[in-house]
Amino acid sequence: MDKFGTLYEKWRKSFIQIAFFITFVNLVIEIVMSYLLMVKYPGMIKLDSVPYLLLYIVLPSSLNFAICMFGKFKVESDHISEQSKNYISVLTLTGICFVMSSAHNVYAVLSCSLCFPVYITIMFSDKKMTRNITVISFFLICISTYFGSIDGRADDKLLYVDLFITLDLLISSYFIARYLFRLEYEKNMLIKESFIKQSQLEEQLKYDPLTNLYNMSTFFNLLSMAIEKEQFPLAVAVIDIDNFKRVNDTWGHDNGNIVLIYLSQLLRAHCSAMGQVCRYGREEFSIIFPNKSSKEAKLLVEDIQRIFETHQFEFFENGSITFSCGIAETSQSECKPRDLFHIADQAMYQAKSTGKNKTVIFGDGM
CATH homologous superfamily of 216-361: Reverse transcriptase/Diguanylate cyclase domain (3.30.70.270)
Burial of 285-308, coded b for 16+ CB within 10 Å and e otherwise, reads bbbbbbebbbebbbebbeebbeeb
Q: What is the pLDDT of residue 2?
A: 54
pTM, two decimal places:
0.60
% residues pLDDT > 90 (the chain): 67
Q: What is the pLDDT of residue 3?
A: 62
The span from the CA of 356 to the CA of 109, in Å, is 91
- 149 burial type by CB count under 10 A (0-12 exposed, 13-18 middle, 19+ buried): middle
Contacts with 293 (C-beta within 8 Å, 6 or more apart), sequence order = 233, 235, 329
3-state SS, residue 213: coil
Please, which pLDDT band fits residue 262 given cuts at 50, 70 and 90? very high
Q: Which one-letter amino acid corresponds to residue 191?
A: I
Give the mean pLDDT of 32-56. Answer: 78
**Domain segments of the chain as ranges:** 2-197, 216-361
The span from the CA of 74 to the CA of 67, in Å, is 11
Q: Residue 214 pLDDT more than 60?
A: yes
**pLDDT digits over 3-21, tens only?**
677 888 888 999 999 999 9
Q: What is the pLDDT of residue 366?
A: 47
**pLDDT digits over 131-169, tens only?**
999 999 999 999 999 888 887 777 778 888 889 999 999
**pLDDT digits over 243-257, tens only?**
999 999 999 999 999
Give the mean pLDDT of 298-319. Answer: 92
Q: What is the pLDDT of residue 247?
A: 93
**Alpha helix stretches (DSSP H) within the chain:** 5-39, 49-53, 59-75, 82-103, 116-120, 127-149, 159-204, 216-228, 244-251, 253-271, 294-310, 337-353
Query: Using an 8 Å Cβ cutoff, are 259 and 313 in contact?
Result: yes
Length of the chain in terms of residues written? 366
Contacts with 225 (C-beta within 8 Å, 6 or more apart), sequence order = none
Q: What is the pLDDT of residue 1?
A: 44
Q: What is the pLDDT of residue 364?
A: 67
3-state SS, residue 158: coil
Write the DSSP symbol of residue 43.
G
Phi-psi region at 326: left, alpha or beta (left = phi > 0; alpha = psi -120 to 50): beta
